[in-house]
Amino acid sequence: MTEEAMTFDVVIVGAGIAGLSAAIKLKQLSSDISVCVIEKGSEVGAHILSGAIFEPRPLNELIPNWEQLNAPLHTLVRQEQVLLLTKNQSWNIPSWLLPPQLDNQGNYIISLGNLCRWLAEQAENLGVEIYPGFAATKVLFNEDGSVKGILTGDMGLDKNSQPKLDHELGLALYAKYTLFAEGCRGLLSEQLIQHFKLCQASEPPSYALGIKELWEVDPTQHQAGRVIHTFGWPLDGTTHGGAFIYHLEKNQVALGLIVGLDYKNPYLHPFKELQRFKMHPAIRTILEGGRRISYGARTLNRGGLQSIPELVFPGGVLLGCAAGFLNIAKLKGCHTAMKSGMLAAEAIIESLHPPFNNKLINYHHKIQTSWLYDELYQVRNSRPAYARWGILGKIVYEKILRGKEPFTLRHNKADHQYLKTKTHYKPIVYPKPDNKISFDLLSSVALSNTYHEEDQPVHLQLRDPTIPILINLVKYDAPEQRYCPAGVYEIVEENMIKNTTKNTNLRLQINAANCLHCKACEIKDPHQNITWTSPEGGGGPNYPNM
């Protein structure tokens, strides 16, 4: 059987802020161009999770009358605080000590999911075709080796990959240009980076895992526009990361913990770190009497400029966090993702005129001459400075050097190579959840509204099925049990008949239906043994206002 096909001028993979901004810009520049966006979430926004403090600069450029059009930017940042935490204490860091990147004047606290929902409306009004519920699972190539488009996944395969009664074949979407806007650690983006060897000149990428909760708090504790960033406790000195607490409108508070995935201690449990973070006296007062509305997790890029691969290949480009345009000093990637989408659209419109060139070289040039590049260049050494000299190095760097230094620091290793064996550490004892402020993992995952059809191929694949027990369990006490924010990986006893030899009756159970599509396992597995493939379209979390 061959799949059906449809042809567009431009196909965009991923209805995040990068993909939607590209779609809107394309239609603004040329109303008769055909643009199709496909999105694996069941609706636009369903898989979007961010902080988020949004810098509106590119939105002012793209849709200057956004206020009139009721864009969901309701809460200006009014009050900012940076706290250094120890177990029971907190210290306010005075603003004169803080790097300029942490100044959020004029920025908005938003739900990125809701901004994407609104952008999707604007795009549809311009004639963009958006199809949520379909995952792009394969890149299709022309005979000359250029990208021809993508294939959407089959629907209705059973767990042995056999067609069920309601089976539907995937659909091929062909385009002159295919834009990959899949966000951090994109499935097809990573394949393309390998295929076209786009990372030959760049440093290994580096990531962090962000785990987030949305709360509705007691009105007396709520101050719309209040922003708190913390560092220090609960993370130890060698683990990079920190937490955020953003007061949105309607008594909502978004909070989360960001943990650098180059952490070393295999016993670290990011989810439980977040739970105990909330128990800190300075934090729990905000949450007492409130109610948790949602939960979720997503990885983010923190490699900066050095880790950005080549962006252009024949037939397409990488956008947004799929390329790694995140300003880690600012902890912001929405405005850069948006800008990259707009620049790609401009490049396409210029290139569509004859002579047609399937390589969007001008995209590369546009990025390099835009504020996006300047911004990332300025903070290029922020993460490596942090890695080498700790938080002080980062502050000195961001405050004093501000990117003017004539050198660029390297990252050296990939995140998974930093994990040490369990013999270097003692297991961490985390407090039990009190079910008011802190919770267990499964009741948290329930709040992400995650759903996957049970009878489908397991979408998390192991290259070598023996590694989880023979290496990961023995050497690292199976860290996937802890870093996965959805409890997907569980070491279970094979059967109840007691076996005398140790470990042989243990196996790794993969509860794929819980997966939040955060991609942490692909990044952190010490032997890079886990591959995230796309489950049936529409599966995954259904985040409401994340």
Ligand X SMILES: Cc1cc2nc3c(=O)[nH]c(=O)nc-3n(C[C@H](O)[C@H](O)[C@H](O)COP(=O)(O)OP(=O)(O)OC[C@H]3O[C@@H](n4cnc5c(N)ncnc54)[C@H](O)[C@@H]3O)c2cc1C
Applying CB under 8 A, which residues contact another protein? 4, 6, 42-43, 45-46, 111, 113-114, 117, 129, 131, 133-134, 152, 155-156, 165-166, 168, 171, 216, 251, 291, 293, 446-447, 449-451, 542, 544-545
| Cα–Cα dist 383/390, whole Å | 9
- Residue 330 in tokens: 């600012």
Q: Least separation, in Å, of the C-beta of 82 and ligand X?
A: 14
Q: What residues from 452 to 471 belong to the interface with ligand SF4 (CB under 6 A)?
A: 460
Cβ proximity to another protein, 135 vs 268, nearer residue: 135
Residue 182 binds which entry of another protein, ligand X, ligand SF4, none, with Cβ cut-offs from 5 to 8 Å by kind? ligand X
| Cα–Cα dist 175/352, whole Å | 12
For residue 306, the one-letter residue type is Q
Q: What is the largest CA-CA distance in the chain?
A: 73
Q: How far apart are the first and last CA of the chain?
A: 40
Task: Choose which of 48, 518, 535, 542 interacts with ligand SF4 (CB under 6 A).
Answer: 518
Q: Least separation, in Å, of the C-beta of 545 and another protein?
A: 5
Cβ proximity to ligand X, 300 vs 376, nearer residue: 300
Q: Least separation, in Å, of the C-beta of 538 and ligand SF4?
A: 16
Cβ proximity to ligand X, 172 vs 184, nearer residue: 184
Which 3-state string (H, E, C) describes 107-148?
CEECCHHHHHHHHHHHHHHCCCEEEECCCEEEEEECCCCCEE
- For 102, 313, 346, the CA distances from 28, given in Å and listed in that order, are 33, 25, 10
274: number of Cβ within 10 Å: 26
| Cα–Cα dist 139/37, whole Å | 15
| Residues found near ligand X in the complex (CB under 6 A) | 13-19, 38-41, 47-54, 112, 135-136, 181-184, 186-188, 210, 212, 256, 258, 298, 300, 320-322, 326, 331-335, 337, 534
Cβ proximity to ligand X, 476 vs 483, nearer residue: 483
The answer to whether the peptide bond before residue 512 is cis (omega within 30 degrees of 0) is no
Binding of ligand SF4 at residue 140 (CB under 6 A)? no
Q: Least separation, in Å, of the C-beta of 162 and ligand SF4?
A: 24
Cβ proximity to ligand SF4, 382 vs 514, nearer residue: 514
Burial of 9 (0-12, 13-18, 19+ CB in 10 A): middle
Give the binding range for ligand SF4 (CB under 6 A) out of 127-135, 359-367, 496-504, 518-526: 518-526
Strand ranges in 304-408 using DSSP code E only, listed in sequence order = 312-313, 316-318
Cβ proximity to ligand SF4, 137 vs 351, nearer residue: 137
Binding of ligand SF4 at residue 519 (CB under 6 A)? yes
Q: What residues from 470 to 489 belong to the interface with ligand SF4 (CB under 6 A)?
A: 484-486, 488
Tokens 């311009």 belong to 126
Residues binding ligand SF4 (CB under 6 A): 460, 484-486, 488, 515-521, 532
